[in-house]
Structures are given as structure tokens and as C-alpha cells.
A and B are shown apart, each in its own frame.
Chain A
Amino acid sequence: MKHFDYARPDSFEAASAVLTAEKGSEIIAGGTDLLGVLKERILPEYPSKLVDIKHIEGAEGIAFDGSTLKIGATTKLTAVAGSEIVKEHAPLLAQAAYSVATPLIRNIATVGGNVCQDVRCWYYRYPHEIGGRLNCARKGGDRCYALLGDNRYHSVFGGRKLKTTPCQKECPASTDIPAYMEQIRKGDWDKAADILLQANPIPAITARVCAHFCQDRCNRCESDESVAVSHVERTVGDYVLENAARFYAPPAAESGKSVAVIGSGPSGLTAAYFLRKAGNKVTVYDSKEEAGGMLMYAIPAYRLPKDIVRQQTKALAAMGIDFVLNTQVGKDIAPADLEKRYDSVFYATGAWKRRIVGLAGEELTTFGLDFLVEVEKWFSGRLGDDVLVTGGGNVAMDVAITAKRLGAKKVTMACVESRGEMPASKEEIARAEEEGVVIMPSWGLSKVVEEGGSIKGMELKKCTGVYDENHRFNPQYDENDKIIVQAGTILMAIGQLVDLSFLDEKYQLQLTRGGLIAVADDDEMSTSRPGIFAGGDATLGPATVVQGVATGRRAAWGMCHYLGVPDCKGGTWTGATRNAFITYDPDAAQKTEPSRLKELPAPERGIDKEDSSSLTREEAACEAGRCLNCGCYAVNPSDLSPALIALGATIVTNKREVPAEAFFTEALCISEALKPGEIVTAITMPSVKGAVAHYDKFRLRDAIDFAIVSVATILKAEGGKFTYARVTVGGAAPVPIRLTKVEEYLVGKALTQETADAAADLAMEGSLPLAHNAFKIKQLRTYVQRAIMRLA
């Protein structure tokens, strides 16, 4: 073992003081669990000091005061198992203690250590020394190895969420992906939609255009392929639009506040939704004829049909959001007037301005974004045969593919980045190449080649590196390596700028920094002017739709906060809280191939028709089945815990008294159930004389198999009928569980085989075996039946 210091305090106060004062100190009682943990080095942080509590006076011993049985925390399990007092007042506990491990272990293991022991998942316990650490989700990593691995000892009642899953962490809008996938598996599309809408009110749109960052970090990537989150989201998004009246209902009550949203792109629409949901009067201004911003005007319809955008804005309008279009702030209405007229204003005006590089002949080229906005004007064959697109991002891809589909014979794309560095998503690059776009990575712009005011092509120079040693974008060129690409049209898609000229001088000075609207770093998107908020590209520079959604939502919350309007979060989703067990579908999860969208074959693709079609609801449900609902599926290993819950025991610490059920079930890890410096000092429980109590435990080898399933029962019967029942189960769920339904059912029932069978059926309710542990459920049934028939 690695070194640690050692202290031996003589009171719980002194022990607690050390634990609080010295970070990295840990309690050692018998050490039978802790030494294993230390030897295998499985803790994220190896303790620097062990605080031995065995020498604390009065911490060991068993006493009954006439009503309460009290067992000190450092009492050995052998003593508990053999104690006449315990056998008399809590025989269940004596049995449970006797069932622990082997006599060798019981001779040193303590009661406190038993209830506080660490989990016994063999992946978790995998020795550090053998082939490296298995950093599972419970050990600080992201992934649960048991889900697709050997899970014969794991939970048959679902798992428990440990922390934000990597997919959710990667999602800029932090959508609770596993939570809505779970609802889809359960067939509850309404709830799935609600969960999704709480993070993102325009899912039909994001599903089509988001670069789905979530998928890059999906835990499935390590075994096969990511869950196709965006495809599932798309089906949910379509469902939301199909049932728009339900999902975009006007708020129940008005807040009495009115707000203005400037810009109707993703950020503006999102802010408008959350602001309206909170009961505010919302007016959205946009300079264009139709709402949607980039969604409507820049993103090609083959990726995002205009109709979807129209349905979305219509749904939002039906919530009572006013859209004032064809109105340019700064020209038609002054920012200062807005501020007077509304209680709060949100700016999400995007990034629409052309970036000028300063090339000779640049004025002859076309701004790529203008090309997309005015695409109809190019239908007429104005494009010519040879087109050069400059830039390597997703906008450049949209421009290149659109140009190709408009009939250009040859579309060449030149970007300074090398292939691996291109900012466009891999899918988009692949699509462009599939359609015949020739990509020339690592070429920078030198000058436009012209003849009498018409474009002949572009001279390019070799780019030798894009980033300097400080990882800043700073391309280097080889001026001696140049080529000319022939082209009649040059479409410049090298990024857009934010245009804030609509703000008058006073505002510009106050609100902007570095060409963007500056917002506070406090998750509320507030500017330096009280009541003025901003989001989307106007604050970020050209970013993504989902970042627009994320900032729009944050701004809406910030504005509600500013306005003193409550509950604008639309009720945060609590279904996947740590208390509830989470589930996945072990059969469906075996599918290694993700579902794919049906795509039109390349020759049939056009400008206006969507390339792909959504998954059906069945197909989406099947894909949702691949989501593992990442969490921990290990079981609580302690034999005493289920018995203590059945006995209605109380865990006494140096700081408080907690009912055993709360202590063992509220937090997944006991290390989290205990507050800093908290030590279990004793366990107390009422006497249950006169009941038939049993602890039935299934295991194969005493020494190393913990309870594979255990059932603790306390039953009373009178006149052939049950009058009292307590049934708890260990080894089957992330925490020991009480089968309240079985308990309620039993009272008043006759002591018969039928009762036993029905109780066994109830015990299995809600069970969800993993690939290798269905046998546990049979065992559970048998034990419940056996316990009941003991009284018959």
C-alpha cells in the first residue's frame, strides 16, 4: 500500500476535527473494506491520513434500555451475530450480521464500516496494477462497463444517475438526452417532448442543422457508434410541431411585463419562447420579411425546409408572441425608444456582415452568405460553369453544394486549413465530395485574376500552417508556391462579422467590445446596461444554432430574474433526479449499428427538397433503445443495510440522527450521504419481539460473493392472516429497496401459497434484468415465497 499517516483519536469530536481539518483524511474502522480499496488504489484520491475510530471510548457495545436497541459503530459483526440481546430484539440483524463474509472478516469488521462500505462492482474494483485503471463512471470517468459487459451481479431494478452524462455535457443547450430517450423507450412521447423543450424550444430545427456535439462524446463511441441523437431528436421535434397547439400553449397567467426581442434567429426565437412561457408580453422584431433569421434565409432548404421554420414561428406566434417584421431597429425604431417602450430588451441580431480580406479584385467576388440568401437570383444560370468557393466551414459547404446543385459544372473549394483542421463537420465534407465538389485544403487566397473587370479565377498560395505556437489562428504561406484556379464566379465564405451599426454611438460605446455585444459572464447574458440583454452570434461571432438556443434561454432566465418574474425555467425536469432509478433496454442496446436517415440519391437532390427524411416513431424508438442511460448499475453491497431498513432503524452520527431508509437511499454513494466530518457513531432500533424475521441471502462462495440477492422480512400473523409485514431487498438495486407494495398487499391476507405467489409477483414489479442477471429475479421470487410460507 502507498503511504498514509495515521491518527488515533479518543473521541468522536477529536476524530471529526481531524476529518474536517485535513483534506484527504478517511475513517478506518476494521479496515476490511478500506484496505482492499487502498491496495487496489481505486479511490479517485488516495487518502493522506487514516483516522482510526476503534479506540474511541463507548463506541463499541450492545445495549437494550427497555425500548431501544443500541449498537455502537465499532462493534464487531461477530459480536452482533452472537449477541443474545440482538437475537432477542432484532433477530433479523443478528442473521444479517452472521451472513456477512466469513468468520475471519467478521472478527474484525465493524457495524459502522459495514453500512459505510464502498460498492463491490468488479469493474469498479478492478486493480489499478493490472493493465491500468478502469475509470468507470463511479470512479470519475464517464462510462459504465457493466452495461454492455458482465453484469450478472448488477442491479435488476435499473441504475442511478451519477452526474451529467458526457452527451449532455457536450450539448451547448445541455439537453438531458438520456432522460428523453428513456421516455421514448417507455412510449411516452409527450414527456420526451417536454424534457427536450425545457432545454431547447426548436428541436425540429436543431435536429436538422445542429452539428450534434453530443454524439462526439457519447459513451457508445468506445464500443461501436454513437447513439444517433440528432435523428431521434428530429422525430421528437416533428412530433412537437405536429402537436404544436399542445406544446406551444399560451401561458396560464400574464406577468404584466413586456419585453422586446430583436432578431428572430434561433437565439431570438428561444428567448421569446421562454419569456412568453413565463407570462411576459413578447414582441419580436426582425428586419426581414419572414421570421427565422439565418434559419429562414441562409441555411439551404435541402437541409432545413422553409416550411419547418414557418411551422415553428407559427407555433410560437400562437403562444401569443408578436412578430413585427420588415422593421429595422436603428432605422425604423431607435434602440432608445425600445428601451422606453419595453421593460427589458434582448438583442440577437446575428452575424451577417461580409468580411473583407483586402485582396486585389475582391470587389468582383460574391459574399457567400448573400449568395445563399438570394439563391433564387442565381437560378438563372448566372453562376457559370466554374465556381470557386473559399472557406472550409459549414457555410462554405452549404455554398459549394448549393452552387453544384444550381448546375455549376465544376465547383472547387479552397481553404487555408488542412483537411483534418477544416471546421466543417465530417458529414458535410463527405456530402460535398459525394456531390462532386473538389476540395483543396491548405490553400490561401492571393489575388483575384481578372480581365477587363470580369473574373477569370483566383490565384492561391500554399498555406504551410494555420496556427502559430500559441494555437492562435495565424496562417503562414509559402509565397513561392502559387497556382491559379479558373473560375467565372467566386463565392467568399470565409466567415461573417457582426454588424452593430444599427446601435447609435452612445449604445455602441456602452454595449460593444471587440465588434461584439459584450455580456456578463454570469449565465444571464446581461449587458452593461440594466435591462438590456444579448445572445447568439451578436455576442459570440459566427457560432452555431444550438449556441444561439443556449444563449437565448439563458438570456430569458436572466431577463425574468431582472424583471422579478418567477419560474421562467418552465419547471426544471426532475424525472431523472438521482433518487429515481434509471433504465435502459438491454436487448435493444445490443444493436451496434445506429439508425440512419433515408437520404435521396445524389442525382435526385435539389435546392428545395429536403435531402433526408425523418425516422418514423418506431425507428426512433429503436434508436433510443441504443442509449444506455449512462449511470451506475451496481448494487449496494452491505448485508446490514436492508435489514436495518426493515427494522426501522436509525443511523446515529456525531451530527444527526437519520432514518436508515433515508441514509441508504437518498445518496447513491455513502461517501456522499455523510457530510464532511460526519461519523456514524451508533445504530438504534426498536425491538421487534414476537415477529418472524429472516434474512435470506443468495451467494455462491462465502468469502468473495456478496449478497447476489437478499431478502429481509419481518412478518407477523394472527388467526391465519398477516397483520404486519416489512420486506426489503438487498443486492438487487442501486440502493436497498423496501417493497412497500408487497407489504401493503400482505396485511390481511391469508397464509397461503396463493398469497405467497401473488406477493412474489408484486416483488418483481418494475424489475428490468440486464443481459446476464435475470436469474436474480427468480431468486428474489423464491425468497419472498419462502419467507411467507414459513408462517403457513
Chain B
Amino acid sequence: MDVQSIAMTVNGREYEFSVGTRFGQVPPEETLVETLRRRLELTGAKQSCSEGACGCCTVILNGDAVPSCMMLTVDADGADILTIEGLEDPATGQLDPIQQAFIDAAAFQCGYCTPGIIMALKALLNKNPAPTEKEVDEALSGNYCRCVSHYHVFDAVRDLIGAGKEGE
């Protein structure tokens, strides 16, 4: 019943952590965003509100976008996790089309919320490559941007999935 160790795949790479309170171990109270940022130095996911309300910490876990600040790392045992660092092609450095669309539409200002928004969108497009605007709206409803870059985000999405879907 007690958990001695956990394993997970992050951006295609396997990790195993020993669970406990000794030096180097993952204590049960560690959240996933802390593990990603502090242990794996994957600082793309941002910790902002820490209460599941802003979406800056969004990563994809077993295919679903989740707030990594509201999850214990021990709860991600066995999970397959994708963070913004895992989007670009590791060999060529080619950006994911979503990333490119954001750059093209300048869909950010300070950029703090951007990795989270991109991951939420990525999860949506993986399941539904041609979402309606309403579906995009809904999928991004947990991602907040203080810089009011939302309009540009929607421009980027429109560029990405084609103007034909507008108004559906």
C-alpha cells in the first residue's frame, strides 16, 4: 500500500523516482509542476496561481491537458507526460505548428501563460484536429492571460486550423 518508487515518461524519456523524505527522494507532497521545474529543469510549465485557476502550469498527461500544480507527482505514477519542451522535433529543432502559429501571430506578450495555452491547444488538436471556435473557447477556458493576448491567440488558432471553420 505504501509507495516506494514511481516511474513516468516525460517528453519520451523515462524517469524513476524513489519516494520518501530523504535527500533526493520525491516526498509525497511534491506537486508535478515542482518536479518538472526543479528536478527535471523543464521550466516551460509555469507555476503562477498554484490553485488550478490560471492554466500556466498545463501539461499533457496521458493525452489530457491538466494543471500540474494541482497534482501530486506520486499521482502521476505510470503517466506519459508531455511538456512544451517536448513539442519541437528533438532532431531537427523544428517547432510544433502551434508554436510556429503563435510566433507568426505574435500571440503573446510576456509569454508567461503561453506554454500552458499551447499545451491545452495541443491536447485539443490531438483529439479533434478541426475544432469549432466554441470548442477552442471551451478548451482554453482554464487558461488565463494577464497581458490580454487572447485575441491574438485566437488569430493564431484560426491561422492554424483554417479560416473555413469560423462561425460554426
Contacts and interface: CB of A to CB of B under 8 A. Distances in A.
Interface of A: 1-10, 14, 18, 28, 30-32, 35-36, 38-39, 50, 52, 54, 78, 101-105, 107-108, 702-704
B65 A3 contact: no
A3 B66 contact: no
Contacts of B55: 102, 104, 703
B142 A104 contact: yes
A6 B3 contact: yes
A692 B81 CA distance: 40
B139 interface: yes
Contact of B64 (A8, A38, A107): A107
30 contacts: A3-B28, A3-B29, A6-B2, A6-B3, A6-B72, A7-B1, A7-B3, A8-B1, A8-B74, A18-B1, A28-B75, A31-B71, A31-B72, A35-B71, A36-B52, A52-B75, A78-B64, A103-B65, A103-B120, A104-B58, A104-B66, A104-B120, A104-B143, A105-B70, A108-B70, A108-B71, A702-B141, A703-B53, A703-B141, A703-B142
B4 to A, nearest CB: 11
Contacts, number: 98
A656 B31 CA distance: 34
Contacts of A52: 74-75
Contacts of B29: 1-4, 38
Given A32-B52, A36-B70, A103 B142 contact: yes
B21 to A, nearest CB: 7
A39 B75 CA distance: 17
Contacts of A39: 50-51
B126 to A, nearest CB: 13
Centre residue among A1, A4, A702 by max chain B CB count within 10 A = A1
Nearest to A1: B29
A337 B66 CA distance: 83
Nearest to B139: A103
B27 interface: yes
Contacts of A36: 51-52, 70
Nearest to B72: A31
Contacts of A4: 28-29
Contacts of B67: 32, 104-105, 108
Contacts of A14: 1
A28 B66 contact: no
Contact of B72 (A35, A107, A704): A35
B121 to A, nearest CB: 11
B138 interface: yes
Given A6-B3, A54-B75, 15 more contacts: A2-B29, A6-B72, A30-B70, A31-B72, A32-B52, A35-B31, A39-B50, A39-B51, A104-B58, A105-B52, A105-B142, A107-B61, A107-B66, A703-B55, A704-B53
A50 B139 CA distance: 31
A30 B61 CA distance: 13
A36 B70 CA distance: 8
A39 B72 CA distance: 12
B154 interface: no
A703 B70 CA distance: 13
Nearest 6 CB-CB pairings of A with B: A102-B142, A6-B28, A104-B142, A107-B64, A1-B29, A703-B53
A45 to B, nearest CB: 16
Interface string B94-127: 0000000000000000000000000010000000
Nearest to A36: B51
Interface in B1-40: 1-3, 19, 21, 27-29, 31
A383 B10 CA distance: 96
A14 B2 CA distance: 12
B51 A5 contact: no
Contacts of A2: 29
A714 to B, nearest CB: 25
A5 B28 CA distance: 6
B54 interface: yes
A241 B168 CA distance: 76
A354 to B, nearest CB: 67
Interface in B135-152: 138-139, 141-144
Nearest to A49: B28
B116 to A, nearest CB: 9
Centre residue among A18, A54, A105 by max chain B CB count within 10 A = A105
Contacts of B19: 6
A14 B61 CA distance: 28
Contact of A3 (B27, B75, B139, B142): B27
Nearest to A5: B28
A189 B64 CA distance: 61
Contacts of B74: 6, 8, 52
B168 to A, nearest CB: 19
Contacts of B52: 32, 35-36, 101, 104-105, 703
B28 A50 contact: yes
Nearest to A11: B1
A50 B29 CA distance: 9
A9 B72 contact: no
B21 A103 contact: no
Contacts of B143: 104
B141 A31 contact: no
B72 A28 contact: yes
A280 to B, nearest CB: 60
Contacts of B65: 103-104, 107
A348 B102 CA distance: 87
A39 B53 CA distance: 14
Contacts of B61: 107
Contacts of A108: 64, 66-67, 70-71
Contacts of A702: 141-142
Nearest to A17: B1
A30 B72 CA distance: 9
B139 A1 contact: no
A239 to B, nearest CB: 52
A52 B2 CA distance: 10
A478 B1 CA distance: 71
Contacts of A704: 53
Given A39-B51, A703-B142, A31 B70 contact: yes
Contacts of B1: 7-10, 14, 18
A6 B139 CA distance: 32
B55 to A, nearest CB: 6
Centre residue among A9, A35, A36, A104 by max chain B CB count within 10 A = A104
B24 to A, nearest CB: 16
A198 to B, nearest CB: 46
B2 A703 contact: no
